[in-house]
Amino acid sequence: MASSDNINNNLPMRPIPGSYGLPFFGAMSDRHDYFYNEGRDKFFATRIEKYKSTVIRTNMPPGPFVSSNPRVIALLDAVSFPILFDNAKVEKRDVLDGTFMPSTSFTGGYRACAFQDTTEPSHALLKTFFLSFLSSRHHSFLPLFRANLSDHFSDLQDKLAHQPGHAAYNSSVSDAVFNFLFRLLTDKSPAETKIGNHGPSLVQTWLAAQLAPLATLGLPRIFNYVEDLLIRTIPIPSWTVKSSYNKLYDGFSSAGESILEEAERAGIKREEACHNLVFMLGFNAQGGLVNQFPILIKWIGLGGEDLHRELAGEIRTVVREEGGVSLGALDKMTLTKSVVYEALRIEPAVPFQYAKAREDLVVHTHDAAYQIKKGEMLFGYQPFATKDPRIFQNPEDFVPDRFVGPDGERLLRHVLWSNGRETEDPTPDNKQCPAKNLVVLLCRVYLVELFLRYDTFTLDFKPAVLGPQVTIKSLTKASSF
Ligand code: HEM
């Protein structure tokens, strides 16, 4: 099974292979390979093969003219990747989106917490507030999310009744997620504010304008140059989405009296807190979860009826024995826990992480050591770390019980979706996702609610701009329970 990733200090020092090419032309050529000629995985796989190294120099999109310096050192294995979590050695200032940063006018002129480095005092202030707020709402996670999932499954059933074999999944789960998050933060429904039922589409419009330079619509080849020119030459100005953002901000500001007062008591200016909370709700939370659930359902769907039978068996037995769905019950569902970790491993919802070297440092892989200079940009492509064949057997296969038992649990330290190890926790001094435990919990609850209602289901999916676009074809009601 897994080989260890303990760093061997006697590894040979190698120069970092790879090339940035000529200024401008190198970046353009890499970006066309990345988006259009090779695609994401092949882009990195061909370079690993060519340079016989999992640490390489390359350009990362967007490049000219959205980012002034696209040059990075890519980390493409499980040993080198975690240097990105070492906040003593790397700086995470303004690198959330990679080699460019969208204008702060998307967020009322403030740099949201996720863009701030751990050395900035306001990072710790904001993160402490997020962590303590989430922990104070711990008791509402389960009842609130279960209520929203009940609407979501009714919605899918209605859709199937209306159009058999075809229920659009992503929009349905997006609504459930937004309503859950908004209520969690404000105790009110977005429908009571000027956001109405448009929360997910307002967020999507606002996110698309910021993240467009990193995306491709997957159009036929003849449109590639036009797309590239349109979305990567100059940034999309924030005024184009100002009305969407203002609706989110005003809606949140009117409903969020109580959390905003809490933030003020914690020493954060009310306006800054509100922009930060809208960013957390829209970008971090909604942006992450609307990818995460389609990924989860896709892999569970591909697991087929046998996996569904096993999961339904485990979930129903534990719920019967424990007398309901509780945190204690969820903790006893070993297979359910394992499949959630496996989905987070095989297809991390936020696959790119960036950081700059604070100082000259050395990065190790399984086989070699590499010198990095102060100020150089490090880029981790997470799927190549969490599918490292020297850590995970059959890394490309979805293995439902991969994380069951002591050997399985030992592998959890290589699950990295939260910008940290699954065995570590977010703190004000690191950049790990403050909702790390919440996300895992929501994924488990999702499966519990699914398999309490249904014996099995079928789906179709196709790749979309971010994560898969899923269509539910059938839901077979639970025969027992
Ligand atoms: C599946 C869903 C989610 C994923 C995959 C995810 C992933 C991440 C990642 C990778 C980062 C670090 C980004 C970086 O610095 O490169 C991050 C940071 C963050 N996430 Fe999440 N996240 C998710 C859900 C959430 C939720 C539900 C919330 C809040 C309720 C949240 C709040 C945040 C915040 C505030 C940060 C910034 C932390 C800091 O600056 O120290 N995330 N998340």
CA distance linking residue 183 with residue 185, whole number of Å: 5
Ligand 1 atom with the smallest distance to the CA of 184 is 30
Query: Do residues 25 and 63 touch, judged by C-beta distance below 8 A?
Result: no
Partners of 363 in the beta sheet? Answer: 370
Residue with CA closest to ligand 1 atom 27: 285
Residue 5 is predicted with a pLDDT of 55
How far is 425 from 14, CA to CA, in rounded Å? 33
Per-residue b/e over 79-100, b at no fewer than 16 CB within 10 Å? bbbbbbbebebbbbbbbbbbbb
Q: 481: pLDDT confidence band, cut at 50, 70 and 90?
A: confident
Cis amide linkage into residue 61, ω under 30° from 0: no
Query: Which tens digit of pLDDT belongs to each residue from 216-238?
Result: 998 898 999 999 999 999 999 99
Ligand 1 interacting residues, C-beta cut-off 6 A: 92, 96, 113-114, 127, 130, 280, 284-285, 288-289, 292, 349-350, 353, 417-419, 431, 433-435, 438-439
Residue 187 has pLDDT above 90, yes or no: yes
Tokens 């993160």 locate to 127
Residue ranges of the annotated binding site are 433
The highest-level CATH class for domain 2-477 is mainly alpha
Q: pLDDT tens digits, residue range 193-211?
A: 999 999 999 999 999 999 9
pLDDT digits (tens, 9 = 90+) for 249-274: 999 999 999 999 999 999 999 999 99
d(CA 420, CA 432): 5
Task: Supply the pLDDT for residue 353.
Answer: 98
Q: Which two tokens stand for residue 50?
A: 């060519």
Nearest residue (CA) to ligand 1, atom 28: 285
Instruction: Give residue-wise pLDDT tens across range 156-166.
Output: 999 999 999 99
Distance (angstroms) between ligand 1 centre and the Cα of 428 equals 13
Identify whether the C-beta of residue 310 lies closer than 8 Å to the C-beta of residue 400. Answer: yes
Q: Which phi and psi (to 5°) does residue 6 adopt?
A: -60, 135
CA of 435 to the centre of ligand 1 (A): 6
Nearest CA to ligand 1 atom 35: 280
CB atoms under 10 Å from CB of 243, counted, come to 11
Q: What is the pLDDT of residues 69-108, one digit of tens each?
A: 999 999 999 999 999 999 999 999 999 999 999 999 999 9
Strand partners, 71: 59
pLDDT-above-90 percentage for the chain: 95
The pLDDT of residue 6: 59
**pLDDT value at residue 410:** 98
Average pLDDT, the chain: 96
Q: What is the DSSP letter of 214?
A: G
Calculate mean pLDDT across residues 103-116: 98
Percent share of the chain, pLDDT over 70? 98
The reported pLDDT for the residue numbered 1 is 36
Ordered by start, the domain boundaries in the chain are: 2-477
* pLDDT score of 13 more than 50: yes
Write out the two tokens for 257. 């009296």
Centroid of ligand 1 to alpha carbon of 434 (angstroms)? 6
Reading the block at residue 150, the tokens are 């009940």
224, two tokens: 């590639």
pLDDT tier at 7, thresholds 50, 70, 90: low
**Distance (Å) of CA 235 to CA 35, 205, 208, 377:** 18, 15, 11, 21
Give residue 464's pLDDT: 84
CA-CA distance, 18 to 402, in Å (whole number)?
A: 34
Does residue 480 sit in helix, strand or coil?
Answer: coil
Which residue has its alpha carbon closest to ligand 1 atom 43? 433
Atom of ligand 1 nearest to the CA of 291: 1
pLDDT of residue 4: 43
Which residue's CA lies nearest to atom 20 of ligand 1? 433
